[in-house]
Structure 1
Amino acid sequence: MLRGLDVRDMLIIDRLELEFQPGLNVLTGETGAGKSILLDALGFVLGWRGRAELVRTGAEQGEVVAWFDLEEDHPAHQILEEAGLPDGEELILRRTNGRDGRKTAWVNDRRCSGEVLRQLSDTLVELHGQHDDRGLLNPRGHRLLLDDYAGLATKVGTCRSAWRALSDAKKDLQTAEDALETVRAEEDFLRHAVSEFDLLDPQPGEEAALDARRRMMQASERIREDIVKAQNALGLEGAESKIGDALRWLEEVAEQAEGQLEEATEALYRALSELGNAQSGVEQCLQALIFNPSELEEAEERLFAIRGLARKHDVLPDDLGTFATQLRVKLDALDNSATEMSSKQQAVRDAETEYDAAATKLSKARRDSAQLLDRAMAKELAPLKMERAIFVTEITEAPAGPEGRDSVAFTVATNPGAPSGPLNKIASGGELSRFLLALKVCLTSGASGLTMIFDEIDRGVGGATADAVGRRLSTLANGTQVLVVTHSPQVAALGGHHWRVEKHVKDAQTTSTVVPLNPHDRIDEIARMLSGDTVTEQARAAAAALLAG
Structure 2
Amino acid sequence: QGEVVAVFELPRTHAAHAVLEEAGIPTGPELILRRINTRDGRKTAWVNDRRCSGEVLRALSERLVELHGQHDDRGLLDPKGHRALLDAFAGIAPLMDTTRDTWRARSRLAKRLTEAEAALAAVRAEEEYLRHAVSELDAMDPQPGEEMELDARRRLMQGAERMREDMARAHSALGPQGAEGAMGDALRWLDGLAERADGMLDAPLEALGRAMNELADAVQGVERAQDVLSFNPHELEETEERLFTIRALARKHDVLADDLASFAQGLRDRLAALDRGDADLRSLRTELAQAEAAYDAAATALTAARTAAAARLDAAVTAELAPLKMERAVFRTEIAATEPGPEGRDSVTFSVATNPGAPAGPLARIASGGELSRFLLALKVCLSDSDAGITMIFDEIDRGVGGATADAVGRRLAALADGGQVLVVTHSPQVAALGAHHWRVEKRVRDEMTTTTVIPLDAQARVDEIARMVAGDTITDEARGAARALLAGTV
- Shorter-chain TM-score above 0.5: yes
Q: CA deviation at 1:450?
A: 0.8
The total of aligned residue pairs comes to: 481
Matching residue of 1:450: 391
2:243 alignment partner AA: L
Matches within 5 A, 1:519-530: 519-520=459-460, 522-523=462-463
Contact persistence 1:128–1:452 (CA under 8 A)? yes
Contact persistence 2:68–2:392 (CA under 8 A)? no
Matching residue of 1:67: 6
Q: CA deviation at 1:461?
A: 4.0
Matching residue of 1:333: 273
* TM, length-normalised to structure 1: 0.74
SS in 2 for 1:407: strand
- Of 302, 308, 321, the match for 1:368: 308
SS in 1 for 2:234: helix
Q: CA deviation at 1:475?
A: 0.6
Q: Which moved more, 1:279-288 or 1:410-419?
A: 279-288
2:204 is equivalent to residue 269 of structure 1: no
2:196 is equivalent to residue 249 of structure 1: no
Contact persistence 1:306–1:317 (CA under 8 A)? yes
CA distance in 1, matches of 2:232, 2:45: 90
SS in 1 for 2:359: coil
2:105 is equivalent to residue 165 of structure 1: yes
- Of 228, 237, 241, the match for 1:301: 241
Matching residue of 2:354: 414
SS in 2 for 1:242: helix
- CA-to-partner distance for each residue in 1:236-292, whole Å, 9 max, x for gaps? 333333322222222222122222222222222222222322333333344445444
2:403 is equivalent to residue 472 of structure 1: no
1 or 2, which has the higher helix percentage? 2
Q: Cα gap change, 1:429/1:123 in structure 2, threshold over 3 Å: closer, same or farther?
A: same
Matching residue of 2:400: 459
Contact persistence 1:105–1:113 (CA under 8 A)? no
CA distance in 1, matches of 2:159, 2:43: 86
1:455 alignment partner AA: E
- Of 93, 107, 110, the match for 1:153: 93
Contact persistence 1:128–1:457 (CA under 8 A)? no
Q: Which moved more, 1:483-492 or 1:352-361?
A: 483-492
Contact persistence 2:398–2:406 (CA under 8 A)? no
2:361 is equivalent to residue 424 of structure 1: no
SS in 2 for 1:277: helix
CA distance in 2, matches of 1:504, 1:477: 31
Matches within 5 A, 1:323-362: 323-362=263-302
Q: Cα gap change, 1:105/1:250 in structure 2, threshold over 3 Å: closer, same or farther?
A: closer
Which structure 1 residue ranges, 5 or more long, are not aligned? 1-60
Matching residue of 2:253: 313
SS in 2 for 1:400: strand
CA distance in 2, matches of 1:237, 1:412: 123
* TM, length-normalised to structure 2: 0.82
Contact persistence 1:503–1:513 (CA under 8 A)? yes
2:32 is equivalent to residue 90 of structure 1: yes
CA distance in 1, matches of 2:304, 2:26: 42
Matching residue of 1:197: 137
Q: Cα gap change, 1:121/1:228 in structure 2, threshold over 3 Å: closer, same or farther?
A: closer
Matching residue of 2:321: 381
Matching residue of 1:179: 119
1:377 alignment partner AA: V
Contact persistence 1:70–1:449 (CA under 8 A)? no
Q: Cα gap change, 1:235/1:490 in structure 2, threshold over 3 Å: closer, same or farther?
A: closer
Contact persistence 2:398–2:428 (CA under 8 A)? no
Matching residue of 1:434: 374
CA distance in 2, matches of 1:327, 1:394: 57
Contact persistence 2:130–2:271 (CA under 8 A)? yes
Contact persistence 1:137–1:424 (CA under 8 A)? yes
- CA-to-partner distance for each residue in 1:354-403, whole Å, 9 max, x for gaps? 32222222222222222221121122122333332211122222222222
2:10 alignment partner AA: E
After superposition, the CA RMSD in angstroms is: 3.9
Matching residue of 1:23: none
- Of 315, 323, 345, the match for 1:405: 345
Q: CA deviation at 1:113?
A: 8.9
1:236 alignment partner AA: P
CA distance in 1, matches of 2:488, 2:391: 28
Q: CA deviation at 1:223?
A: 4.3
Q: Cα gap change, 1:479/1:103 in structure 2, threshold over 3 Å: closer, same or farther?
A: farther
Give percent identity, aligned residues only.
60
- CA-to-partner distance for each residue in 1:192-234, whole Å, 9 max, x for gaps? 1111111122233433443444444444544444433433333
1:177 alignment partner AA: E
Contact persistence 2:3–2:34 (CA under 8 A)? no
Contact persistence 1:395–1:407 (CA under 8 A)? yes
Contact persistence 1:105–1:112 (CA under 8 A)? no
Per chain length, whose mean CA-contact separation is higher, i.e. which structure has more relative contact order (CA < 8 Å, sep 6+)? 1
Q: Which moved more, 1:393-402 or 1:285-294?
A: 285-294
